[in-house]
């Protein structure tokens, strides 16, 4: 085994192991034990059906009508036994697959959301494109195909063990110099299958690469369509339909290109596979028919041996029949391994250089010796030392790009490229309102109190706050489910963010250009509303408009930053 293969299997085991050590995994293991028992019984019935073929066709050969009728009734009984075994086996496998997928989906979602890794992934150097595909598509394929592959292989090996014995003892082996070659049909099936597997591998090994590329391009195309829907207003305003059409055509062109590569390779494999099947069907008859004409064997012996040859050859050829599925499975595992590595990097990107402490209840925010830099290493702030007292009103201003939002991200624990000391008040609710607030898809009342749950807020309270924030037109839509980001204008979204602040009542409120889409009169009304209804809250704002300065006691120019902040 090469070092690369060893690493792949170690990383695969890292993905597989946690589930099977969990409680859900132990239940699933018990179900799979049931699947294994059903496979054994089904193989036993298959052997009985193989023996039936010998008896039935021998009866035909000997023109024994009574025996033929007897064997027909026997076949009916075996069929009634065989079909439920196969159905129950597939049902139990399906239950395990959905359990495993659900567990993986919850685990990956938890890892993605833990410590805000979903945000830091943008700074990780691993394979982090199309997170929706990782959670939805790859975690659908992986458990389904893994279970199918494992038990398909077990089924094939069990069939090999059962039918190779029948084939080894077949009376149809040819004679050389008067001596019968023992197990000739078995060795023929083995050689034929190994040769076919080797040729199939040589022609199809590139499929793994093609499948991985196809999954990536499909996800990129799907993301472009989602982006088109979510940014419909902006694209329409620019008249960017032609450009979007070109972009979609380019992305689909990548899909079509790799698809054609897959089709061409599969065409070659299909040609080989078709010839392989045809030749394997006729081989046992070519070997045994001369023995039939000489009277050494009966027709039933030929049918039994041909059936056993087919089962043995299919077992030996398991990799040929599953080559395409294995290639897709390998591509999926590679993507999950890449995602796992990216998650490790995202976890490591936490602001470990910042010593975050928790002060007493009602204490100030204290920053000392804080250094902040950009992802490429360029310094942004150096040696920041700053105190924000409870109940203070602070305005941070400066030209675009000077690092105002980055400073908020640092206080919020999002920015990984920093070092220093930050002390935050204990159990204080801190609410950060960005320029473009997040509105979840759902009812309006859920959007208003996000991330809280709407059950804790009375409808009358919600309506009163909407009216106070200038959104009275929405009062009758509390229980409407909408994609509110698309339904509301930028100004309405910012008003809704202020309504959210009034409902959640944070002790510390950070506003990052939260009124940029509003006129000065509306902006003044909303700020005054905050001061009136949240008199004890600390408000720290980022703004470009001079009109908001009147609502803040302390103004800080971020461009005048040396070893500390300059207050004006």
Residue found by looking up tokens 């949240």 in the block: 534
| CA neighbor of 372 nearest in space, from 431, 414, 425, 426 | 414
Nearest-angstrom CA–CA distance, 175 and 547: 104
| Phi and psi angles of residue 229, each rounded to the nearest 5 degrees, phi first | -70, -45
Counting other chains too, the contacts that 467-476 makes at CB distance below 8 Å and 24 or more residues apart are 468/499, 468/502, 468/529, 469/495, 469/496, 469/498, 469/499, 469/502, 469/526, 469/529, 470/495, 470/522, 470/525, 470/526, 471/495, 471/496, 471/499, 474/444
Q: How far is CA 499 from CA 341, 373, 448, in A?
A: 40, 34, 7
Q: Is the dihedral of CA 281, 283, 285, 286 positive or negative?
A: positive
Confidence band, pLDDT 50/70/90 cuts, at residue 128: low
Residue 324 predicted with pLDDT over 50: yes
DSSP string, 102-160: HHHHHHHHHHHHGGGHHHHGGG--SS-S-HHHIIIIIHHHHHHHHHHHHHHHHHHHHHH
Pairwise pLDDT comparison (400 vs 205), residue with the higher score:
400
Structure tokens at 136: 């939805």
DSSP string, 272-322: HHHHHHHHHHHHHHHHHHHHHHTTSS-HHHHHHHHHHHHHHHHHHTHHHHT
What does the pLDDT read at residue 567? 41
Question: Residues 537-558: what's their mean pLDDT?
Answer: 86
Nearest-angstrom CA–CA distance, 281 and 311: 11
Confidence band, pLDDT 50/70/90 cuts, at residue 563: very low
Sequence-distant (6+) residues with CB within 8 A of 438 are 450
8 A C-beta contact, residue 516 and residue 435: yes
179-180 and 175-176: which strand pairing? antiparallel
Structure tokens at 215: 């999954």
What does the pLDDT read at residue 108? 87
What does the pLDDT read at residue 486? 82
Question: Residues 108-133: what's their mean pLDDT?
Answer: 74
Pairwise pLDDT comparison (565 vs 537), residue with the higher score:
537
Calculated CA dihedral for residues 450, 455, 461, 463, nearest 10 degrees: 70
Structure tokens at 522: 């509306």
Nearest-angstrom CA–CA distance, 296 and 117: 73
Nearest-angstrom CA–CA distance, 190 and 196: 10
Q: Where are the domains of the chain?
A: 12-348, 354-557
What does the pLDDT read at residue 564? 43
Residue found by looking up tokens 């010796």 in the block: 369
Q: What is the pLDDT of residues 376-422, one digit of tens each?
A: 888 888 888 888 889 899 998 888 878 888 888 888 888 888 888 88
The separation between CA 413 and the C-alpha centre of its own chain, rounded to angstroms, equals: 26
Q: What is the mean pLDDT of the chain?
A: 83
What does the pLDDT read at residue 346? 78
Pick the CATH number of 12-348 from 3.40.50.300, 1.10.150.530, 3.90.1150.10, 1.20.1560.10: 1.20.1560.10
What does the pLDDT read at residue 566? 38
Residue 42 predicted with pLDDT over 70: yes
In sequence order, which ranges of 469-513 are alpha helices (DSSP H)? 484-487, 490-504
What does the pLDDT read at residue 323? 75
Structure tokens at 59: 């009866």
8 A C-beta contact, residue 391 and residue 427: no
Question: Residues 471-495: what's their mean pLDDT?
Answer: 91
What does the pLDDT read at residue 350? 64
Confidence band, pLDDT 50/70/90 cuts, at residue 538: very high
Residue found by looking up tokens 């675009």 in the block: 400
Instruction: Output the furthest CA–CA distance in the chain (Å, rounded).
Output: 112
**CATH (residue range 354-557):** 3.40.50.300
Residue 126 predicted with pLDDT over 70: no
């Amino acid at each position: 085994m090469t070092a690369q293969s060893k690493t792949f299997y170690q990383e695969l085991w890292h993905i597989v192991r946690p589930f099977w050590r969990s409680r859900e995994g132990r239940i699933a293991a018990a179900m799979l034990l049931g699947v294994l028992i059903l496979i054994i019984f089904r193989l036993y019935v298959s052997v009985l059906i193989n023996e039936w073929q010998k008896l039935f066709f021998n009866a035909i050969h000997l023109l024994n009508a009574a025996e033929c009728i007897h064997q027909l009734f026997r076949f009916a009984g075996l069929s009634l036994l065989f079909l439920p075994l196969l159905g129950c086996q597939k049902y139990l496998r399906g239950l395990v697959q959905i359990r495993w997928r659900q567990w993986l989906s919850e685990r990956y979602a938890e890892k993605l959301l833990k410590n805000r890794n979903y945000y830091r992934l943008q700074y990780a150097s691993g394979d982090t494109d199309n997170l929706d595909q990782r959670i939805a598509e790859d975690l659908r394929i992986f458990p389904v195909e893994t279970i199918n592959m494992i038990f398909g292989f077990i089924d094939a090996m069990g069939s090999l063990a059962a039918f190779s014995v029948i084939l080894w003892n077949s009376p149809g082996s040819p004679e050389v110099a008067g001596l019968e070659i023992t197990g000739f049909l078995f060795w023929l099936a083995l050689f034929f299958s190994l040769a076919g597997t080797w040729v199939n591998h040589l022609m199809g090994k590139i499929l793994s690469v093609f499948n991985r590329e196809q999954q990536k391009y499909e996800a990129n195309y799907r993301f472009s369509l989602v982006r088109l829907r979510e940014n419909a207003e902006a694209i329409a305003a620019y008249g960017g339909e032609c450009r979007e059409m070109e972009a979609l055509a380019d992305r689909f062109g990548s899909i079509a290109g790799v698809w054609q590569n897959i089709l061409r390779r599969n065409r070659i494999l299909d040609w080989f596979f078709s010839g392989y099947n045809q030749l394997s069907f006729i081989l046992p008859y070519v070997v045994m028919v001369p023995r039939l004409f000489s009277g050494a064997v009966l027709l039933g012996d030929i049918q039994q041996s041909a059936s056993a040859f087919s089962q043995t050859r299919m077992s030996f050829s398991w990799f040929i029949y599953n080559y395409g599925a294995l290639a897709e499975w390998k591509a999926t595992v590679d993507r999950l391994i890449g995602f796992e590595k990216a998650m490790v990097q995202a976890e490591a990107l936490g602001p470990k250089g910042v010593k975050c402490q928790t002060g007493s209840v009602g204490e100030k925010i204290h920053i000392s010796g804080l250094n902040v830099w950009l992802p490429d290493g360029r310094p942004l702030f150096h040696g920041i030392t700053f105190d924000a007292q409870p109940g203070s009103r602070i305005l941070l201003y400066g030209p675009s790009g000077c690092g105002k939002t980055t400073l908020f991200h640092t206080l919020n624990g999002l920015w990984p490229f920093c070092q220093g000391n930050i002390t935050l008040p204990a159990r204080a609710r801190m609410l950060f309102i960005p320029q473009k607030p997040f509105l979840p898809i759902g009812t309006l009342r859920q959007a208003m109190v996000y991330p809280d749950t709407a059950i804790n807020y009375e409808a009358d309270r919600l309506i009163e706050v909407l009216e106070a924030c200038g959104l009275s037109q929405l009062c009758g839509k509390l229980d409407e489910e909408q994609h509110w980001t698309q339904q509301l204008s930028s100004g309405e979204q910012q008003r809704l963010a202020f309504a959210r602040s009034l409902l959640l009542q944070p002790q510390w409120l950070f506003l990052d250009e939260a009124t940029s889409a509003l006129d000065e009169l509306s902006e003044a009304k909303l700020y005054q509303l905050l001061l009136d209804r949240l008199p004890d809250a600390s408000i720290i704002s980022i703004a470009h408009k001079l009109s908001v300065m009147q609502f803040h006691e302390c103004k800080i120019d971020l461009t005048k930053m040396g070893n500390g902040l300059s207050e004006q």
